[in-house]
């Protein structure tokens, strides 16, 4: 009985330590600031890509890339648990990290707008760092951001 309690206590401590690491796990910009146009998908159902070869084609807009990304930056950073990892809207390419409320699981969201005609071509790659399936979290995030920008019906 005492041995079982010790094992359960030890397992509980390991679980808490693991969750503590996940909540504070660093996201290396060299790894996670990935170009949505050239990103290497894992084949697991834990990402959502708007762009070439993705779940949805890139969205062509008439808005200047820097202006669109400035609006998207405001939408992204208004969401709880979201920070900018790398890039800048003026550069046309930004990567954000959004951590889930309860467990703190980090997701990386790379957004790029390349000039096309008088406007640009918007690409977004939202992906989970941990786990096999995201239960639709990345798709929902991308659609929420597109809705906020009034772009969900385009593309």
What are the pLDDT digits (tens) for 53-106?
999 999 999 999 999 999 999 999 999 999 999 999 999 999 999 999 888 899
Per-residue pLDDT, 6: 72
Per-residue pLDDT, 13: 45
More confident residue, 73 or 26: 73
Per-residue pLDDT, 101: 85
> Which residues pair with residue 49 across a beta bridge?
125
User: What sign does the CA torsion over 103, 17, 128, 115 have?
Assistant: positive
Rounded Cα distance between 97 and 128, Å, is 10
Per-residue pLDDT, 145: 97
When pLDDT is cut at 50, 70 and 90, the band that residue 16 belongs to is very low
Average pLDDT, the chain: 88
Please check the confidence at residue 21 and state whether its pLDDT lies above 60: no
Per-residue pLDDT, 102: 81
Per-residue pLDDT, 139: 97
Contacts of 65 (CB under 8 A, 6+ apart): 92, 113, 114, 115, 119, 120
Helix H or strand E segment including 97:
strand 93-99
What DSSP character marks residue 21?
Answer: H
């Amino acid at each position: 009985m005492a041995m079982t309690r010790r094992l359960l206590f030890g397992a509980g401590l390991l679980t808490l330590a693991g969750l503590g690491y996940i909540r504070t796990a660093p996201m290396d910009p060299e790894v996670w600031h990935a170009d949505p146009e050239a990103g290497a998908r894992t084949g697991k159902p834990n990402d959502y890509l708007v762009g070439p070869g993705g779940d949805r084609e890139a969205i062509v807009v008439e808005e200047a890339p820097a202006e669109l990304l400035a609006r998207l930056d405001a939408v992204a950073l208004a969401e709880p648990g979201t920070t900018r990892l790398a890039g800048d809207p003026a550069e046309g390419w930004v990567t954000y990290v959004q951590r889930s409320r309860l467990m703190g699981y980090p997701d990386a969201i790379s957004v790029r707008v390349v000039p096309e005609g008088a406007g640009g071509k918007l690409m977004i790659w939202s992906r989970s760092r941990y786990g096999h399936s995201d239960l639709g979290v990345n798709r929902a995030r991308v659609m929420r951001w597109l809705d906020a920008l009034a772009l969900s019906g385009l593309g």
